[in-house]
């Protein structure tokens, strides 16, 4: 009888251990981030940057579809697209927005002063968006741009 209880206990612990990761994933909060790229979706360099970005997120245990939703927009160098996509991304109320280059960052900074914006490849100097970014409480230049963006 004592042996039977031990087996029952081990079986119960084993089944709980197997089921635990599934329950933990179901209860995990889904976070949303926006991405505003400066190139067209089919641009090879842009695809490499996104792949590096997604890989780094995964290394940090942020996996698209499990605990992360990514809303991607491709500006393709078009200022009208940047403005439209900036408004779209801000309206989705993401936890943060990742942007590449000054033309992509500027409309985001004008669209929101509350959504955190992480940016790379923004030129130094007197550009209005750089001045806004430097004084914005919610924007942050990614210090490890090559590691994050794959450049």
Please report which helix (H) or strand (E) contains residue 51, including its range.
helix 44-59
Q: CATH number of the domain that 119 lies in?
A: 3.40.50.2300
Residue span of the structural domain in which 46 resides:
30-149
The pTM assigned to this predicted structure is: 0.68
Look at residue 77 and tell me if it is in a domain: yes
Query: Residue 26's pLDDT is what?
Result: 55
Candidates 66, 75, 52; CA nearest to 147 is: 52
Query: H helices of 60-101, where?
Result: 79-91
Look at residue 87 and tell me if it is in a domain: yes
Look at residue 13 and tell me if it is in a domain: no
Phi, psi of 96 (to 5 degrees): -165, 165
Please, which pLDDT band fits residue 146 given cuts at 50, 70 and 90?
A: very low
Query: Residue 142's pLDDT is what?
Result: 53
- Residues 67-111 have pLDDT tens digits of 999 999 999 999 999 999 999 999 999 999 988 888 888 899 889
Give 7: exposed, middle or buried? Use CB within 10 Å, 0-12, 13-18, 19+. Answer: exposed
């Amino acid at each position: 009888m004592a042996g039977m209880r031990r087996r029952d206990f081990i079986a119960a612990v084993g089944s709980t251990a197997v089921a635990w990761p599934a329950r933990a994933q179901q209860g995990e909060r889904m976070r949303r981030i926006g991405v505003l790229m400066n190139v067209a979706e089919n641009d090879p360099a842009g695809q490499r940057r996104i792949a590096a970005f997604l890989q780094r997120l995964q290394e940090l245990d942020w996996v698209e579809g499990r605990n992360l939703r990514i809303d991607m927009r491709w500006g393709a160098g078009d200022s009208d697209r940047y403005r439209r996509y900036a408004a779209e991304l801000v309206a989705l109320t993401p936890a943060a927005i990742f942007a590449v280059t000054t033309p992509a960052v500027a409309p985001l900074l004008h669209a929101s002063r509350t959504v955190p914006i992480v940016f790379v490849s923004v030129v130094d100097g007197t550009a209005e968006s750089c001045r806004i970014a430097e004084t914005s409480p919610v924007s942050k230049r990614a210090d490890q741009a090559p590691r994050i963006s794959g450049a």
